[in-house]
Amino acid sequence: MDLIGKWTKVYNLTAVRDANEMLTHHLLDSLAVIAPLRRELVKLSLPSASLVAASDGGERQVVAKLPQAKFSLLDVGAGAGLPGIVIAITCPDVSVTCVDTVAKKAAFIQQVAATLRLPNLKGLHARVESLTQPYDVVCSRAFASLIDFTTWSKSALADQGVWMAMKGKHPDQELAVLPESVKVFHVEQLQVPGLDAERCIIWMRG
């Protein structure tokens, strides 16, 4: 938050300037995807992933244990690095690349990686259409319509990879015009603490 606030004064990274709003609208909003993301990473790594039993308050629950393998994630139209930076901080086993067509935003990501000592975070100044390196997860947050997002980033999605599109309200119209080549396998509602607004993740495969 401090780094975003400092750089926004010069580079206008985000329109949100109030600290409380930044906490809910940016950081907590990004943190809400971490548990769903880790669940999908476990699925991608099966059968090498293992399920272990854990005890919590006397009730047994099954928790997913990620293998040691490094996963790769591309955050498209990263802007101020949300959710990419938050994912890099909370998931050290995920190699995060934040791509943006605006050079100063990619530079900000690089500065955050250096300042916070995040070896798994990289800022990249490029158009996503030009990327061909395969990523396990390609994500976006308020970036573009679903059809544009999937079309522009298709060359960057690994064969068994998934798209993770963060949206506000359920995007019925956007879903209706997706081509048959894009398979929506889950629409997941999110609850963001302190944020009285609809949020969801659209999970897709190519």
Domains present along the chain, CATH in parentheses: 2-205 (3.40.50.150)
Most confident of 2-6, 141-145, 176-180: 176-180
Q: What is the pLDDT of residues 73-95, one digit of tens each?
A: 999 998 889 999 999 999 999 99
Residue with more model confidence, 113 or 29: 113
What residue type is 5 in one-letter code? G
Q: What percent of the chain lies above the pLDDT cut of 90?
A: 67
State the average pLDDT for the chain: 86
Helix, strand, coil content of the chain in percent (nearest 5): 35, 30, 35
d(CA 156, CA 197): 31
Q: Which pLDDT value is given to residue 61?
A: 43
Phi-psi map region of 145: left, alpha, beta (phi>0 left; psi -120 to 50 alpha): beta
Give the pairing type, strands 183-190 and 121-125. Answer: unpaired
- Whole-model pTM: value is 0.86
| Ranges 1-10, 11-20, 112-121, 142-151: which has the least confidence | 11-20
pLDDT at site 160: 93
Looking at residue 69, its pLDDT comes to: 55
Per-residue confidence band for 19, with pLDDT thresholds at 50, 70 and 90: low
144-191 pLDDT, tens digit per residue, is 999 999 999 999 999 999 999 999 999 999 999 999 999 999 999 998
Predicted local confidence at residue 16, as pLDDT: 63
**Residue type (1 letter), 183:** K
Q: What pLDDT was estimated at residue 170?
A: 94
